[in-house]
Amino acid sequence: MNATKVVSKRAFDVMIRALGEASELVAPVSRGYDRFSFAEVEDASALQCEGYIPTINPPKKYFLPAEEVLVEFSAPDGATLGSGSEFRADAVVDSPTRVLLGVRTCDIRAIAMSDRAYADTYEDDNYFAKRERATIVGLSCLEPCDDHAFCAAMGAENAEEGYDLLLTDWGDSWMVSVGTERGDEMLAACDGVGEPTAEDREQWASLQSDRRAAFAPVAEKISVEKERLPDLVDEGEGSSLWTEYGDLCLGCGRCNMVCPTCFCFDVEDEVSLDRTSGERKRRWDGCTLLEFALVAGDENFRSERKDRLRHKLYHKTRSTFDRYEEIFCTGCARCFRTCLVDIYHPDMYNALEERLGGDSS
């Protein structure tokens, strides 16, 4: 679709307030110390926040919560679970109507990647129940959000799809790209919507030129094209780089937890103390954690941090590229901002490419 409209900020805020009467509104909210998180809001004023870098946790938390009940089960009256009696099990699908405001393009791209992962092989009902009832109102970046983002190196500084509406700051108005029929219907119910004038289009072309210039240094943060990364990680399998970075890595899993494209989870059953009822839950899990590759017999096929760190990069590049023809990294740099020892993915890729220029050691 991708029609472009101009909407006054006053009219847009009225529309968002009206949506908030029937839906939960969430948007980036400042938490101080240059940190933001998605939280419930009443209007679109959160879109005017200064210095907004990608939130601490990505918006995936609304589609794949950090902890989620999948099934509730219970034994019949007078019986206990495991006693041989039949028990009742009910699927739990929580899917509120929600509007996500101010989603950065890197996160829009990440949500689209997660959609592909959770539709693969067996479609995840819980994920898509939430996803289909969510409206995404994106916010384009006019310049890099901070010194650490490498979105342009991963081709994620722009989004052509994956949103209902995409906003670009236009002074007293928003320049709005319409991505879906839902977005078109939203604007149809909004006063103060107009077509871009000839002057608007001329200024828009100038703005895009300025954006490309601003993001050009970001695109150069990785010394190789992103399409080269799967082969790079493959060729560097035996490199000493993994040991060096593995010695730095704490194996804490923070990078996995804040990554917008990590989609791994663990499933556990929790039974009440009287054994009459219980819940099956899933929780975020991450491949840099020691227990992730622990299997029966107390065997762990990635017991060393260097192997887990390499596996994470291998999965982001080689594995996802082979399966989805896409690298599951958007360069949002959440992993770096949360890392206690400042491990930066572009540094690892660049060092690996430099070493492979001589040999793989």
Q: pLDDT at residue 265 above 90?
A: yes
Q: What is the pTM of this model?
A: 0.93
Residues 8-17: what's their mean pLDDT?
93
Q: Do residues 330 and 156 touch, judged by C-beta distance below 8 A?
A: yes
% of the chain beyond a pLDDT of 70: 99
331's torsion region: left (phi>0), alpha (psi -120 to 50) or beta?
left
Q: Taking the CA atoms of 350, 355, 356 and 361 in sequence, report the sign of the dihedral they define.
A: negative
Q: Of 170, 176, 134, 189, nearest to 14 (Cα)?
A: 189
Q: Would residue 175 count as lying in a domain?
A: yes
**Six-digit token string for 230:** 């799967």
Q: How confident is the model at residue 82 (pLDDT cuts 50, 70, 90)?
A: confident
Instruction: Output 1 or 186, whichever has higher pLDDT.
Output: 186
d(CA 168, CA 222): 27
Q: Would residue 161 count as lying in a domain?
A: yes
Residue with the two structure tokens 């010394």: 223
**Six-digit token string for 44:** 């679109």
Q: Do residues 69 and 92 touch, judged by C-beta distance below 8 A?
A: yes
Range in 38-52, 271-285, 317-331 the model is least confident about: 38-52
Local structure of residue 12 (DSSP, 8 states): H
Residue 358 has what pLDDT? Answer: 53
The amino acid at 330: T
Q: Would residue 344 count as lying in a domain?
A: yes
Residues 241-264: what's their mean pLDDT?
96
Residue span of the structural domain in which 191 resides: 3-356
Task: Give 116-132 pLDDT, tens digit per residue.
Answer: 999 998 899 999 999 99
Q: Would residue 83 count as lying in a domain?
A: yes
Q: Which residues pair with 272 in a beta bridge?
A: none
Helices marked H in the chain: 9-20, 105-119, 125-132, 181-188, 198-219, 229-235, 241-248, 254-258, 305-314, 320-324, 334-338, 345-356
Q: pLDDT at residue 217 above 60?
A: yes
Q: pLDDT at residue 361 above 50?
A: no
Residues 145-174: what's their mean pLDDT?
95
Task: Give 222-250 pLDDT, tens digit per residue.
Answer: 999 999 999 999 999 999 999 999 999 99
Task: Give 32-60 pLDDT, tens digit per residue.
Answer: 888 999 999 998 888 877 889 999 999 99
- Please count the structural domains in the chain: 1
Q: Would residue 361 count as lying in a domain?
A: no
Helices marked H in 21-163: 105-119, 125-132
Q: Which residues contact 271 (CB under 8 A, 6 or more apart)?
A: 81, 277, 278
Mean residue pLDDT of the chain comes to 93
Write b or e for each residue in 119-140: b if 16 or more Cβ atoms lie within 10 A of its Cβ, otherwise e.
eeeeebebbbebbeebbbbbbb
Q: pLDDT at residue 141 above 80?
A: yes
Residue 206 has what pLDDT? Answer: 96
Q: pLDDT at residue 110 above 90?
A: yes
